[in-house]
Structure 1
Amino acid sequence: MSRNDGPGPEVSARLGYLLKHAQLRMNELSTRALASLGVNGRELAVLLVLAGDEPASQQQAAQRLGVDRTTMVALLDTLEDKGLVSRHPHAEDRRRNVVELTAAGQDVLERGTRASDEAEREFLAPLDPQTARQLRAALRTLVNQPPPRSGRAGEAVQ
């Protein structure tokens, strides 16, 4: 292998590089797995959030996924256009839109979850099961950290 093949050890050992390229690979596998269903991974995530026991509002779904309202409205517009969700005013608070899966949405959710699970198995296949569980646990710990505080060390943040 020549020095010009790949990014080299100085880059390929960096955490940012590794996370980015792992995410790109996972996205590639998920996109391929979900293509026949007509949804992408982000849309599947919305369906998963909406599949809870009680109907969710647009705002609740946005909060659970950590996206802004404008992005959530665009995602729901797309899913509604595909016939996968329906929106209607809340019975007690007409300012609030309730979003529910349609029968087609429930079907895509079930099949999409299976397809996504298979893509994850393929992604994690090079790892033994214990290492794959540890990777998930470590990433969950990192993702669930509170957002970093702004300001310099030792300064109070207002």
Structure 2
Amino acid sequence: MTDADPRHVLLADSIPFLLGQLGTHSAYRFTDLLAPLGIKPQQFGMLRILEAGGGRSQQQLSEALGIHRNVMVGLVDDLEKRGLAERRKHPTDRRAHAVYLLPAGREMLARGAEIAAGLEREITSELDAAERATLLVLLQKAAAGSGLLPGIHPGFTTERPDDSGCDAGR
């Protein structure tokens, strides 16, 4: 650190602080980068989940994500209104609807994935390939040790104070 305020130097040696600082920065940055597409990180995350396991019921999706079913209904409603996903009768449970990604949703997901990859390059620009690989493994290990679900952001259902979302969706 150059020309750092001495009062802040101690925080620069704190792993939780640095993870929080970088996490907040990347979440806000991702939100800003997705804005021109008209989606929030939470919607991007939902598109990724649907791509990985489309055809699951809203109930199955809400259980897998650990979010309330009413939140799931709102997310799916929003994606349907945008023509990115649709509900269809569930193939085996006539009481349920399955949620599927539509072609426009796949296109939006591809555009968002390019943005996410660019953000990852931006954030890790000071690291070489080996350091990036090591960082990824260490972060995965720390996340697993903290009991976090792989690929599911713990803030999936939270909003930024300005209501633009804080889920990095990755």
TM-score when normalising by structure 2: 0.73
CA distance in 1 between partners of 2:47 and 2:64 (Å):
12
Paired residue secondary structure (2:52): coil
User: Are 1:88 and 1:98, in contact at CA under 8 Å, matched by a contact in 2?
Assistant: yes
Aligned mates of 1:7, 1:78 — CA distance in 2: 45
Q: After the TM superposition, which parts of structure 1 deviate over 4 Å for at least 4 consecutive aligned residues? A: none
Highest RCO, 1 vs 2 (Cα 8 Å, sep ≥ 6): 2
The aligned counterpart of 1:72 is 72
Shift of 1:48: 0.9
Identity %: 30
Q: Which runs of 5+ in 1 are unaligned?
A: 149-158
Unaligned runs of 5+ in 2: 149-170
User: What are the residue-to-residue correspondences of 1:5-24 with 2, within 5 Å?
Assistant: 5=5, 8-24=8-24
How many aligned positions are there?
146
CA RMSD, 1 decimal: 2.4
Determine if contact 2:30/2:41 at 8 Å carries over to the other structure: yes
Cα distance in 2, alignment partners of residues 134 and 64 from structure 1: 28
Alpha-carbon shift at residue 29 of structure 1 (Å)? 2.7
Deviation for aligned residue 1:107: 1.0
Query: 1:82 maps to what in 2?
Result: 82
Which sits farther off after the overlay, 106-115 or 29-38?
29-38
- State the distance in 1 between where 2:145 and 2:42 align: 21
**In the alignment, residue 21 of structure 1 is paired with which amino acid?**
Q
How many Å apart are 1:7 and its aligned residue? Answer: 5.4
CA shift for structure 1 position 53: 6.1
Equivalent residue of 1:94, what SS?
A: coil
Closer/same/farther in 2, CA of residues 121 and 34 from structure 1, 3 Å limit: same
Amino acid at match of 2:50: L
Return the alpha-carbon distance in structure 1 between the equivalents of residues 7 and 61 of structure 2: 39
**How many angstroms does 1:59 deviate by?**
2.9
- The yes-or-no answer on 1:143 pairing with 2:143 is yes
TM-score, normalised to structure 1, is 0.78
The higher radius of gyration belongs to 1
- Give the C-alpha shift of residue 146 in structure 1: 6.6
